[in-house]
Each structure stands twice: as structure tokens, then as C-alpha cells.
Amino acid sequence: MTITYADFERVDIRIGRIVRVDPFPEARKPAYKLVIDFGGEIGMKKSSAQATNHYRPEALQGRLVLAVVNFPPKQIGPYMSEVLTLGVPGADGAVVLVGPDRDVPLGGRLF
């Protein structure tokens, strides 16, 4: 499927810093509940991430990640996820989170 550049521009992908990580035992697949700070314009948002294979909670705390911030909230079990944290499957199929390799301002938009 081909999309236009205008289609891509409609997806608002921003940089945020994980400020809180909690277990999510109610999830069907192992996951964490995350609170991510996107800075002044967007603020704090909740998300969940099936990133338990490669990351311990303390390793996620303070990590920069990319997330789609303009999808509607999604109910995941008893938890309302407000943004989609981005990741790709590693060689083992487990989620590897996507983020910059340097410190960048919170809320910066991917383009």
C-alpha cells in the first residue's frame, strides 16, 4: 500500500520521556503501564508497552521514546492508553522501543 506525504504528515509522532513504569498484570500479553512526558504542549500521557522481554522497569525510567500522540485513546483491559508507544520486533520477536540516540527536546515532532 502506498501513502502520500500528506498522509504521513497527519500522523503526529513525538518524542517523550518515560517518567513512570508500573506492572500491568491484567494485560493479556506481558506489558508495562507507562506515563510519558511530552513537554509543555502535550504534557503527560499514559501508554502501555509489551516491552517486558528486553527492558526492566528501572531501565525504562528516563528513557526517550517515540509515540503517536494523535490517535484516539484505546482501552486495553482496565487501562486507557492515550498514545501509541512505537517499537519494532527484535530477532526474537520481542518489542524493541524506538527512540533517538541523543537527548532531544521533549515534544519534538518526527518529520
pLDDT in tens, the chain (111 residues): 999 999 999 999 999 999 999 999 999 999 999 999 999 999 999 999 999 999 999 999 999 999 999 999 999 999 999 999 999 999 999 999 999 999 999 999 998
**Is residue 107 in some structural domain?**
no
**Is residue 56 in some structural domain?**
yes
**Is residue 81 in some structural domain?**
yes
**Is residue 58 in some structural domain?**
yes
**Is residue 109 in some structural domain?**
no
The pTM of the whole model exceeds 0.85: yes
Number of domains making up the chain: 1
Range of the domain at 74: 12-97
- Specify the pLDDT at position 57: 97
- Specify the pLDDT at position 111: 87
Domain with residue 55: its CATH number is: 2.40.50.140
36 C-beta neighbours (distance < 10 Å), count: 27
**Is residue 103 in some structural domain?**
no
